[in-house]
Amino acid sequence: MTRFKSTREANIRRDYREILRDDSLGVLVLANETGDVVQAFAGRRPAPDFHEWFRNKERADRYVQTWYARLQDWARRRHERRESLRNAPTPLQLGDILKSSWGLERANVAYYQVTAVRCRAVVVCEIEAEVVRVIGEATGNCTPVPDRFIGVAMRKRVDARGVVNFNGPSRWAYRIEFTMVDGLRVFDPDDFTT
C-alpha cells in the first residue's frame, strides 16, 4: 500500500492570487479576491502556516507583515549564530582529555587525548584507562592515562562547546576537568561495567 504524501502544490487554493513571495525563506502568501482570506507557507513545509479569514484586508495585511517580519528576524538571528560559531576558535587545546561513555546494559568508557588542533577540528587518539577500584564482579572506577596511546589518530570536528562526535548519536566525547597535584594531572574516577 502506498501512502499519499502531501505537497505544497496540493494544498494551494487555485482561486487565490499570490501577494507575497520570498524564495530565500520559502515564503508564499496567497489571498482570495477581496484579500480577507489569506493562506501562507514558509520553509519547505507542505501544510500552510496559517489559512485565516480576517474582518478586512487591512487586518489581513497587518497580520501577514508581522508574520513575515518574524520570519525575517528568525532567519537573520540564525545566520548570525551560524557565522559566530563558524568563526569561533575551538575551545579544546593540545593535551586535553576527552571522555566518551555509552551503553545501555553496561557503561563503556573510553578516553581520548587531543594531539593536534586545526581551526574547527582536532586530531584525537584513544588512550588507556587505568582501573582505580573494582566494585563487585563487573563494575569499577577508572581514570585516563595521558600520553599512553592505544588507538589510531582521528580527525574530528568540534562544536562550539568543545564536544566531539564519535560515529553515532550516542558516542559524544566531552572534555574532562582535572586538578593539579605536585605537577601531575589528577582526574576524578569514572564508573564502568564490563
Instruction: Tell me the DSSP string of 117-177.
Output: EETTEEEEEEEEEEEEEEETTTEEEEEEEEEEE-S--EEEEB-TTS-EE-SSTT-EEEE--
Structure confidence at residue 1 (pLDDT): 58
Rounded average pLDDT over 53-61? 96
Given a cut of 70, whether residue 2 has pLDDT beyond it is no
**What's the pTM?**
0.58
Of 185, 184, 163, 190, nearest to 174 by C-alpha is 163
Structure confidence at residue 163 (pLDDT): 87
Contact indicator for 158, 121 with CB cutoff of 8 Å: yes
CA–CA distances in Å: residue 143 to residues 42, 86, 98, 125, 163: 50, 33, 11, 16, 19
Residues 51 and 44: their CA atoms lie apart, in Å, by: 16
Of 143, 96, 36, 19, nearest to 28 by C-alpha is 19
Rounded average pLDDT over 126-144? 85
Rounded average pLDDT over 172-194? 85
Mean pLDDT estimate for the chain: 88
Of 106, 141, 144, nearest to 124 by C-alpha is 144
Contact indicator for 99, 176 with CB cutoff of 8 Å: yes
Structure confidence at residue 169 (pLDDT): 56
Given a cut of 90, whether residue 57 has pLDDT beyond it is yes
If one compares 6 and 71, the residue with the highest pLDDT of the two is 71
If one compares 35 and 167, the residue with the highest pLDDT of the two is 35
pLDDT digits (tens, 9 = 90+) for 70-104: 999 999 999 998 887 777 778 888 999 999 888 77
Residues 52 and 160: their CA atoms lie apart, in Å, by: 41
Residues 181 and 194: their CA atoms lie apart, in Å, by: 30
